[in-house]
Structure 1
């Protein structure tokens, strides 16, 4: 990692994205003083994040705009009927969750046109990277008319910090970049994001992959965040707390223990599911379909894109009701364009459509507004809330975390008063801590992580990892089933055996190298071999072909040919060793040719080129 004086984070979310940074000298003085981008949303209000929306020019290679500007321009193109050759992507991050990923993966835009997923992600990251560098080089964050005095002071300090540490323009290699991802993502998805970031121009050696709940945990440990029962900063060494990162796409959960000198130890492997805020959006969309029909909603998207985007934006606000709104009817505005389309297509007014639906007793129509009974509105949250509370309850029963008495709620969806209310009801004996601006906890914590990656001292493995080997003691001396036996170079062998290096649940420390395993290639003259790496959800897998196992990557190892072995027909030496290095957010593997002593540390290649 090159010497840097800025740590910058890109929080690439399912629904919203942004960036933040701080200077090295600022971090040393005040770790939580992080400058975060502020975006101008429709109506000239200020937003903490921008929608993860990307508009790409008809060439399929050039970014036109991102965020609110991308939505505005695509809406204009749609209404002028000049949008057909353009590519518009929204909420595409979840395409990497729980799927087989390769480098040829393609994504469909809103109209069904396809581009390489790597291109879509890389262009988005490039926009955020370039925007950050441009801002830093201006010396301060542009002051919006609604910004507070404090923000102006922060902007001035950015300018002073830049002048104090550097007089020339900042470039990508001057920055340590942290790209955040859900902790529940698999190794292939993390590598995909790394490669997309590198394609976006972020130097490989300056890039960390940060885990979202970990980043939030880091940030909140520095804050005197108070609730009715305590503060995160008051937790003593040995205390355990759960981080519940409720984002747009996923709910990501892990448990940390406070260690010595402020270091953190992971006590329960990351887990969760796709129960984030977009699940609520899906339930609301299903509700609208039941009233108005799929055909009308699809035509609305085609003909009145800008109004559709505004409807989504309005609902996003409604999801974050205040405590005073609990139990009250929720008002949703239906734009005139929708009502006109509804009348033309179905011959019904808004009120008539509601009266003919199964919700006629739950909705009152007043002009261009639907006033929805609170319990019906709350029902849109049922799947997300029930799955989240059920999963949290299961984790708290685990022996390693049964003494956890604090839950830290972060992420944009944690701003939902309905989710907060249900968590308080489900866990009355647990201290629920919600920091100010919970959606910024991740990105600010990622900046701190960039300054000090050693802050997470221990992690708990989510999988068992190992390699595939053959067993040269086949025949009657071996207990492996006959279907796994094969004659190789005149020797009866068992094949597809899972050779375990580390097991699920094992504690690994930052940068800790696991024990080496020695292997012997089959062919004497081989100057290279491919080592297949596998993971398993079982502690003691037998064969790599078992249902619990998955090939996650390949490691190429250079070898010294065994000339003597070639003469006599079998290897006499030329072995190689493989060891895993865990503790970071990505898997590294060290391979060494025993004959030459040559070794190399590599990040495991978990992606196929198919």
Structure 2
């Protein structure tokens, strides 16, 4: 099956004409923590200090506060019949002819091994929107039981948490999925949906919930290890008490990878398939899912590196025992030795997490505390491994209380204190494609153009606006001014470079890619004649979780649509 591609996305970036009222406030805030393996939700009413967690989900009988990020489709038409725990239960039933879709969030991460397949020809945004639609319907049902009925759904504002390692195309995909799911509308003000980086949300949660936070002083530093099902994001913050209110500064360029707990599951699944060898094709999807269910529920959360474990084999697999008696014992169990579990299932994932933490420590002279958050961050084995490896270097290594809800709750805190994390370190270099004076021997002749002023220029120069590793305030604006002849339309295409080598000179050089098109259509301007110069200013804000752009024509802010490039 071919890998789905990221669709060509359009996103409206600004809606107001200068002078009109600013951002609308929403009396209800709903935070969605869409995860690779599990998803959660918290919400808050403006007239109530309490933050509520959604803990009841359809067909869910456990105590976990999240719902599995699963979908189940049936028939030739691939009809969506269930989601969450319902999808999981269908996959465990024999005789089903449907398809279980899982880990679809991983399709949005760059440079990762392919996640489990989607339906044939299905785009990631479709699977994500299918899940979010049913997820949101369940959330609304629960909210109505705690007083949300006094508000209309139009009064709900949303914040959606996203991994820090995602690029802007992935974030635009999530915004589009929220529209396709019917949670927001395409013509809603942008502030109705706020994207929040998962490490930022986790840092907000730590500040509110961890007692050890109160012992930290001005200029102390702490590391957030946000370990979820699919991704692990790591960043170091410094406490700044120099102003009227305490704030945080990023002091390292955050790093991350696709090494969440889902990869422990994937390692286990591959180990089983390798042991079954040629007989794997005789094991039904239902049987394999039942074995994996037993591993995920009975072994994975409790294994700490010691003690052999046993997986109970479903009766449907016992008929293969005569062919694979070296795998299944007389009692119908599969032996998982502690050494093999450790070396083949857990350690390959833990090693990646350790490497990411070390990468951050190499950038910081001192770290006072490390906090594990996220579903994977609740793992005692991961905590023990990290503590043993880094305790000599980091005095305090701790797990956040209720780390599984830390990101969703932290997103709520972020809405109330958006400037708490005051500065960020950029992970990419950003620039525009512009025409600059041609330099012989440096610029390719193929890029040469003679402009109306008679000057030979290079048409493909990479005009840098912000550098990778640069510290930037979250609300800092980087502006570009230029003029065009009325009534011509124009464009300002944004390019990005994420490498560590010297910054390329041309947008056509290796490693530079177009991130987004900014087509700017000239509005009717009173008092301007054909050929008159028109002043255009573009403000770029790179310090937010999502790129924000404002365009001004002769001082008037205009509405326009941008298209994010396919990956």
Same fold (TM over 0.5): yes
The answer to whether structure 1 residue 194 and structure 2 residue 186 are counterparts is: no
The answer to whether structure 1 residue 90 and structure 2 residue 102 are counterparts is: yes
Give the superposition deviation at 1:95. Answer: 0.6
Cα RMSD, aligned residues only: 3.1
Distance change >3 Å, CA 449–CA 503, structure 1 → 2: same
Q: Which residue of 2 aligns with 1:184?
A: 165
Q: Which residue of 2 aligns with 1:578?
A: 538
Rounded to whole Å, the distance in 2 between the matches of 1:55 and 1:587 is 34
Give the superposition deviation at 1:366. Answer: 5.7
Q: Which residue of 2 aligns with 1:120?
A: 127
Q: Which residue of 2 aligns with 1:12?
A: 34
Number of aligned positions between the proteins? 528
Give the superposition deviation at 1:14. Answer: 0.7
Q: How do 1:485-504 residues align onto structure 2 when only pairs under 5 Å count?
A: 485-487=448-450, 492-504=456-468
Equivalent position to 2:420, from 439, 452, 455: 455
The answer to whether structure 1 residue 428 and structure 2 residue 408 are counterparts is: no
The answer to whether structure 1 residue 338 and structure 2 residue 317 are counterparts is: yes
The answer to whether structure 1 residue 312 and structure 2 residue 292 are counterparts is: yes
Distance change >3 Å, CA 134–CA 171, structure 1 → 2: farther
Q: How do 1:288-327 residues align onto structure 2 when only pairs under 5 Å count?
A: 288-293=272-277, 295-302=278-285, 305=286, 307-317=287-297, 318-321=299-302, 326-327=305-306
Distance change >3 Å, CA 216–CA 96, structure 1 → 2: same
Q: How do 1:102-117 residues align onto structure 2 when only pairs under 5 Å count?
A: 108-109=117-118, 112-117=119-124
Q: Is the 8 A contact 1:107 1:116 kept in 2?
A: no
TM-score by length of 2: 0.84
Kindly provide the CA deviation profile for residues 265-310 of structure 1, in whole angstroms up to 9, marking residues without a partner as x.
Answer: 22223311111112222222222123211x53344234xx1x4333
Give the superposition deviation at 1:185. Answer: 0.3
Rounded to whole Å, the distance in 1 between the matches of 2:78 and 2:127 is 9
Q: Which residue of 2 aligns with 1:50?
A: 67
Give the superposition deviation at 1:253. Answer: 0.9
Q: Is the 8 A contact 2:429 2:468 kept in 1?
A: yes
Kindly provide the CA deviation profile for residues 409-433 of structure 1, in whole angstroms up to 9, marking residues without a partner as x.
Answer: 1111122233222212220221211
Kindly provide the CA deviation profile for residues 186-228 of structure 1, in whole angstroms up to 9, marking residues without a partner as x.
Answer: 0100111011112222334311112112111111211134xxx
Give the superposition deviation at 1:481. Answer: 4.4
Q: Is the 8 A contact 1:577 1:591 kept in 2?
A: yes
Rounded to whole Å, the distance in 1 between the matches of 2:381 and 2:561 is 42
Rounded to whole Å, the distance in 2 between the matches of 1:565 and 1:445 is 50
Q: Which residue of 1 aligns with 2:271?
A: 287
Q: Is the 8 A contact 2:69 2:84 kept in 1?
A: yes
Q: How do 1:145-224 residues align onto structure 2 when only pairs under 5 Å count?
A: 162=147, 168-203=149-184, 204-205=188-189, 206-224=192-210
The answer to whether structure 1 residue 26 and structure 2 residue 48 are counterparts is: yes
Q: Is the 8 A contact 2:92 2:290 kept in 1?
A: no
The answer to whether structure 1 residue 35 and structure 2 residue 66 are counterparts is: no
Q: Is the 8 A contact 1:53 1:91 kept in 2?
A: yes
Q: Is the 8 A contact 2:58 2:86 kept in 1?
A: no
Rounded to whole Å, the distance in 1 between the matches of 2:306 and 2:117 is 39
For the residue of structure 1 that corresponds to 2:283, the secondary structure is helix
Give the superposition deviation at 1:60. Answer: 5.9
Q: Which residue of 1 aligns with 2:481?
A: 518
TM-score by length of 1: 0.79
Distance change >3 Å, CA 296–CA 201, structure 1 → 2: same
Q: Which residue of 1 aligns with 2:25?
A: 3
Structure 1: tracts of 5 or more residues without a match: 101-105, 140-161, 226-230, 355-364
Q: Which residue of 1 aligns with 2:140?
A: 133
Give the superposition deviation at 1:439. Answer: 1.8
Equivalent position to 1:244, from 222, 225, 232: 225
Q: Is the 8 A contact 1:55 1:70 kept in 2?
A: yes
Give the superposition deviation at 1:548. Answer: 2.7
Rounded to whole Å, the distance in 1 between the matches of 2:176 and 2:78 is 17
Rounded to whole Å, the distance in 1 between the matches of 2:73 and 2:264 is 28
Distance change >3 Å, CA 200–CA 563, structure 1 → 2: closer
Rounded to whole Å, the distance in 2 between the matches of 1:312 and 1:479 is 58
Distance change >3 Å, CA 214–CA 299, structure 1 → 2: farther
Q: Is the 8 A contact 1:319 1:416 kept in 2?
A: no
Rounded to whole Å, the distance in 1 between the matches of 2:59 and 2:293 is 10
Give the superposition deviation at 1:603. Answer: 7.9
Q: Which residue of 2 aligns with 1:529?
A: 490
Kindly provide the CA deviation profile for residues 351-375 of structure 1, in whole angstroms up to 9, marking residues without a partner as x.
Answer: 3346xxxxxxxxxx46122332212
Distance change >3 Å, CA 446–CA 274, structure 1 → 2: same
Rounded to whole Å, the distance in 2 between the matches of 1:348 and 1:177 is 54
Give the superposition deviation at 1:55. Answer: 2.6
**Which stretch shows the higher mean deviation, 176-185 or 531-540?**
531-540
Give the superposition deviation at 1:264. Answer: 2.3
Q: Is the 8 A contact 1:257 1:266 kept in 2?
A: yes
Structure 2: tracts of 5 or more residues without a match: 1-22
Kindly provide the CA deviation profile for residues 138-182 of structure 1, in whole angstroms up to 9, marking residues without a partner as x.
Answer: 23xxxxxxxxxxxxxxxxxxxxxx3xxx7x543332222111111
Q: Is the 8 A contact 2:551 2:558 kept in 1?
A: yes
Give the superposition deviation at 1:69. Answer: 0.6
Q: Which residue of 2 aligns with 1:328?
A: 307
- Larger helix proportion, structure 1 or 2? 1
Q: Which residue of 1 aligns with 2:17?
A: none
**Which stretch shows the higher mean deviation, 56-65 or 14-23?**
56-65
Q: How do 1:70-81 residues align onto structure 2 when only pairs under 5 Å count?
A: 70-76=87-93, 79-81=94-96
Give the superposition deviation at 1:40. Answer: 6.7
For the residue of structure 2 that corresponds to 1:331, the secondary structure is strand
Q: Is the 8 A contact 1:575 1:593 kept in 2?
A: yes
Distance change >3 Å, CA 601–CA 321, structure 1 → 2: farther
User: Quick one: higher RCO (CA 8 Å, sep 6+), 1 or 2?
Assistant: 2
